[in-house]
Amino acid sequence: MMDWTDRHCRAFHRVLSRRARLYTEMVTANAVIFGDRDRLIGFSPVEHPVALQLGGSDPKALAQAAAICAERGYDEINLNVGCPSDRVQGGNFGACLMRDPALVADCVAAMKAAVAIPVTVKCRIGVDEQDPEAALDALTDAVLAAGADALIVHARKAWLEGLSPKENRDIPPLDYDRVYRLKARLPGVPVSINGGIGTLEEVAAHLAHVDGAMLGRAAYQQPELLMRVDSLFFGEADPHEDAFAAVEAYEPYVAAHLAAGGRLHDITRHMLGLFTGRPGARAFRRRLAIEGVKAEAGLDVLRAAVDEVRRAEERRSMVA
């Protein structure tokens, strides 16, 4: 997710779940080819399994970008066919590609020919006046014929006229059944569902119909959710007993970033949702928002913020 799932966010989420697959922000093919690669696609080995999401609609450029990313060690290349922003439409990629399955198929075929790792597609169920029955089948059949290894479907249309990207994540109605029907029609194809999933109980319910569930805002805004993913869905022990232990386990990563000249805020801005709903959560956020943004802020600020929650919980248990 743009501006959210950067490398620090992903490294933090990896502390919370060893198994959840993490996705980068969308990076355009041309940015990968011509831009500052360390900044745009650099990642830490701790992040695996991690997928890089590309935006674009030029098969040659996408193939070249995919090869560069595979060479860097990403585990999957995902093509964005779901972003509705004007900038993206201007470049003729993202959700507007729902109207051009043949071109998306050419893109997938070119990427598949360039890399050995899985190439997947994230799409909507349709755009604007399209009939989602026909539009989703046409797009998915085309990309599967071109070799796509899996599909992730944001279970709502994008309305390209008149809605902002933010509105396009909430206003077009969700249609989970449409994604379930896609999976029923394509039993051999890994299909993941996305859109409006807020709890792991909801994930479990979706998994009765599809192979995977992608959480966007819920995972970012309440990252503690991720702490039970490994035991609930992968049959493995969760990595940490609680969020306090998770933050401690993340400290060496934070220390390394600071030692390399990075700022605490680069990291803690992705942690504001931790402890949501608990006593002390607001004080935690306030500390990070006020003290964590200072240039000289160090690990002590993060520890002091976490202590706000610890103390608030102690106070509550004394009262109880």
Give the residue, chosen from 8, 112, 122, 206, that forms a contact with ligand FMN under the rule CB under 6 A: 122
By CB under 6 A, is residue 96 in contact with ligand FMN?
Answer: no
Is there binding between residue 169 and ligand FMN (CB under 6 A)? Answer: yes
- Minimum CB separation of residue 81 from ligand FMN in Å reads 9
The single residue among 176, 194, 273, 288 that binds ligand FMN, judged by CB under 6 A, is: 194
Whether the CB-CB separation of 20 and 226 falls below 8 Å is answered with: yes
One symbol per residue from 48 to 87: x for binding ligand FMN (CB under 6 A), - otherwise; what is it? -----x--------------------------x-xx----
DSSP code, position 63: H
Q: What is the CA radius of gyration of the chain?
A: 20
Among 1, 232, 281, 293, binds ligand FMN (CB under 6 A): 1
Please tell me whether residue 140 adopts helix, strand or coil conformation: helix
> CA 92: distance to chain centroid?
22
Q: Which stretch binds ligand FMN (CB under 6 A): 30-38, 194-202, 237-245, 256-264?
A: 194-202
Residue closer to ligand FMN (CB basis): 26 or 302: 26
Q: In what order do the strands lie in the sheet with 150-154?
A: 22-28, 50-55, 76-81, 119-124, 150-154, 191-194, 212-214
Instruction: Give the closest residue to 250 by CA, choosing from 2, 4, 5, 17.
Output: 17
Instruction: Give the binding-site size for ligand FMN (rule: CB under 6 A).
Output: 21
Q: Which residue is nearest to ligand FMN (CB)?
A: 216
Can you tell me which of 119, 210, 215, 254 binds ligand FMN, judged by CB under 6 A? Answer: 215
Residue from 147, 212, 216, 279 that binds ligand FMN (CB under 6 A)? 216
Annotated binding site for FMN: 53, 122, 154, 194-196, 216-217
Give first-to-last CA distance, the chain, whole Å: 41
Q: Which is nearer to ligand FMN, 104 or 218 (CB)?
A: 218
Which segment (2-10, 103-111, 256-264, 306-314) binds ligand FMN by CB under 6 A? 2-10
List, as residue ranges, the binding site.
Answer: 53, 122, 154, 194-196, 216-217
The reply to whether 222 sits near ligand FMN by the rule CB under 6 A is no
DSSP readout, 12-57? HHHHH-SSS-EEEEEEEHHHHHHS-HHHHH---GGG-SEEEEEE--
**Cβ neighbours of residue 138 under 8 Å, at least 6 residues apart?**
101
Part of the chain binding ligand FMN (CB under 6 A), chosen from 126-134, 215-223, 293-301, 309-317 = 215-223
Rounded CA gap, 57 and 221, in Å? 31
Q: Tell me the residue ranges of DSSP E strands in 179-273.
A: 191-194, 212-214
Give the separation between CA 273 and CA 231, rounded to whole angstroms: 22
As annotated, the active-site residues are: 83
Quick one: 10 or 287, whose CB is closer to ligand FMN? 10
Minimum gap (Å) between residue 196 Cβ and ligand FMN:
5
Q: Which C-beta is closer to ligand FMN: that of 23 or that of 275?
A: 23
Instruction: Enumerate long-range contacts of 130-135, CB under 8 Å, 24 or more apart.
Output: 130/98, 130/99, 130/157, 132/157, 132/175, 132/178, 133/178, 135/98
Q: Which amino acid is at 2?
A: M
What DSSP state is assigned to residue 241? Answer: S
Binding footprint of ligand FMN on the chain (CB under 6 A): 1-4, 25-26, 53, 80, 82-83, 122, 154, 169, 194-197, 215-218
